[in-house]
Chains A and B, each alone.
Chain A
């Protein structure tokens, strides 16, 4: 193995260790377990967006729609169908993925800003639906009157409701499975065909890649995993509201990915950690937390266009 590869492996191991013990060291630096869970959940959302953005080269400003569908799907399954935790997540993901399949088919021929614009437009449709359809979605007030339930594995019960560390480790397990699946895909022939599209769409096409179909697949996969994050987000808050679907969340996911470094597999997780921690810390001092994050974002992108990981790792690639 080449030295760069060794370094990448060592970095993977470091990230895994940090995540494994996050609820314990979080307290030491002034955080709390729920904050750690939020980092995991938003990290998963940003990494999922980055499957499309960083590894296929396609910018979406509409991923909140699928995040929100995952959130509402899971919340409604628990509230209206008495579903268990895992089936509830599953339902949210299935609903979001079908929506992504349909909408993806409509937008996949657009490129660049045009693609980004249509993703916003379609995203807002779901926002208004959640906002207006009071009877089912709770409208502006959000979907309340439910909470996540302990998971019964038959031989044991995991109390993710009463024990916030238990919920952290449940979220981490879901995160790990999702992220491992994405890593595997990126490092596969299919994943390389996506990177090829990012690098040079014309060359990819003239090697025999049906570019639109591959972008569609990448979009659907990206939306599927972002909806997993959305479902976890609803469980984390025991609540969901239309903001989980709104385009500013889509924008925040893009900021996280770019801030951390979208060419790096772990970049969006780092970006999400910085974003969520800053948001938590700054918002307890001022209403205007978004300006602070905006400033940090502009400074990082201005001086380190490859993001925080690009800065930390010099020329080395993830």
Chain B
């Protein structure tokens, strides 16, 4: 069944139309990249899908159900998880506790005033597994705010993964990273997609990453869908060359 179906979504901020009649459908297991120049509306689109803002018009269906009116936490409960363009973590807590909070919430424990030893062990094992996957095992006791930029982003991705999402939304996961860090994150995303079969929506400026990973690409410009298709179609599109790549080169 279709994971995400956005129908004619629009968002205005005063007189600015940040998202203008955007529709999109994502199938299970798909990795969809969203690209476009700065200010195109990519992050705003994520905000509509994840529920940070309500759309001015249009609807959002997740797993076949209309979620347009649901608050973010309820969408999360149904399987949406996201990271932010500016990393959002718990800076004063150790890395392990950042992940642990996410694991406990995912397990449905957020209101529990205590946990039995068995449940604690299951949580601890899952935390270790995620720390390992994010390459953070040797930093588990470090205050998350003291991590390098790349490790903070990895921690945020691991917190989102802890939720075992049906749809993972990543907003420029490699922004501000060096080549090695970018490569590590790209490899992690590929693994999540190819091996774990995760459905992923990815906003990304690094074209090497986009063309290596994406099954399909949506190009946004000035809030509208400029083009949509397989990576090769997008690379060959004159429209995209002119409006997007041209502008980026200028």
Question: With A and B bound together, what is the CA distance between A209 and B77 in angstroms?
Answer: 9
CB < 8 Å neighbour of B73 from A196, A200, A208: A208
Which of B111-119, B129-137, B235-243 lies at the interface with chain A? B111-119
Chain A CB within 10 Å, residue with most, of B91, B93, B97, B115: B93
Question: With A and B bound together, what is the CA distance between A206 and B160 in angstroms?
Answer: 9
Shortest CB distance A263–B (Å): 8
A-B contacts, CB under 8 A, total: 86
**Residues of B within 8 Å of A, CB-based: how many?**
34
A184 in contact with B90 given A2-B141, A208-B105, A208-B106 (CB within 8 Å) = no
Which of A98-106, A113-121, A165-173, A186-194 lies at the interface with chain B? A186-194
Q: Is the CB of B101 within 8 A of A193?
A: yes
A195 in contact (CB, < 8 A): yes
5 other A-B residue contacts (CB within 8 Å) besides A195-B90, A199-B92: A189-B105, A203-B88, A205-B72, A206-B82, A207-B105
Question: With A and B bound together, what is the CA distance between A191 and B109 in angstroms?
Answer: 11
- Please indicate the chain A residues that have their CB under 8 angstroms from the CB of B162 in the complex: 207
A200 in contact with B110 given A206-B50, A207-B163, A209-B105 (CB within 8 Å) = no
B204 in contact (CB, < 8 A): no
- Please indicate the chain A residues that have their CB under 8 angstroms from the CB of B20 in the complex: none
CB < 8 Å neighbour of A192 from B72, B91, B100, B156: B100
**Chain A residues in contact with chain B, CB under 8 A?**
2, 184-185, 188-193, 195-196, 199-200, 202-211, 214, 217
**From residue 54 to 100 of chain B, which have CB atoms closer than 8 A to chain A?**
71-73, 76-77, 81-82, 84, 88-93, 97, 100
Q: Is the CB of A185 within 8 A of B113?
A: yes
Question: With A and B bound together, what is the CA distance between A210 and B97 in angstroms?
Answer: 19
Q: Is the CB of A203 within 8 A of B73?
A: no
B151 in contact (CB, < 8 A): no
CB < 8 Å neighbour of A208 from B76, B141, B156: B76
CB < 8 Å neighbour of A203 from B90, B106, B111: B90
Q: Is the CB of B104 within 8 A of A200?
A: no
CB < 8 Å neighbour of B159 from A184, A207, A214: A207
A208 in contact with B159 given A192-B100, A199-B92 (CB within 8 Å) = no
Shortest CB distance B141–A (Å): 7
Residue of A nearest to B123 (CB): A189
27 contacts between A and B (CB under 8 A): A189-B104, A189-B105, A191-B113, A192-B100, A192-B101, A195-B90, A199-B91, A199-B92, A200-B88, A200-B89, A203-B88, A203-B156, A203-B159, A204-B101, A206-B50, A206-B72, A206-B81, A206-B88, A207-B102, A207-B105, A207-B159, A207-B162, A208-B73, A208-B76, A208-B77, A209-B73, A211-B73
- Please indicate the chain B residues that have their CB under 8 angstroms from the CB of A210 in the complex: 71, 73
**Chain B residues in contact with chain A, CB under 8 A?**
50, 71-73, 76-77, 81-82, 84, 88-93, 97, 100-102, 104-106, 109-115, 141, 156, 159, 162-163
Question: With A and B bound together, what is the CA distance between A193 and B113 in angstroms?
Answer: 11
Question: With A and B bound together, what is the CA distance between A211 and B51 in angstroms?
Answer: 14
Question: With A and B bound together, what is the CA distance between A173 and B190 in angstroms?
Answer: 57
Chain A CB within 10 Å, residue with most, of B101, B102, B156, B159: B101
Q: Is the CB of A209 within 8 A of B110?
A: yes
- Please indicate the chain B residues that have their CB under 8 angstroms from the CB of A195 in the complex: 90, 93, 101
Question: With A and B bound together, what is the CA distance between A47 and B115 in angstroms?
Answer: 24
Residue of A nearest to B50 (CB): A206
Q: Is the CB of A188 within 8 A of B90?
A: no
- Please indicate the chain B residues that have their CB under 8 angstroms from the CB of A217 in the complex: 111
- Please indicate the chain A residues that have their CB under 8 angstroms from the CB of B71 in the complex: 210
Shortest CB distance B74–A (Å): 8
A190 in contact with B105 given A208-B77, A208-B163 (CB within 8 Å) = no
- Please indicate the chain A residues that have their CB under 8 angstroms from the CB of B111 in the complex: 189-190, 193, 217
- Please indicate the chain B residues that have their CB under 8 angstroms from the CB of A188 in the complex: 112-115
Across chains A and B, which 10 residue pairs bring their CB atoms closest together, nearest first? Answer: A199-B90, A208-B76, A189-B109, A189-B104, A203-B88, A189-B112, A193-B110, A196-B101, A188-B113, A210-B73
Question: With A and B bound together, what is the CA distance between A207 and B111 in angstroms?
Answer: 14
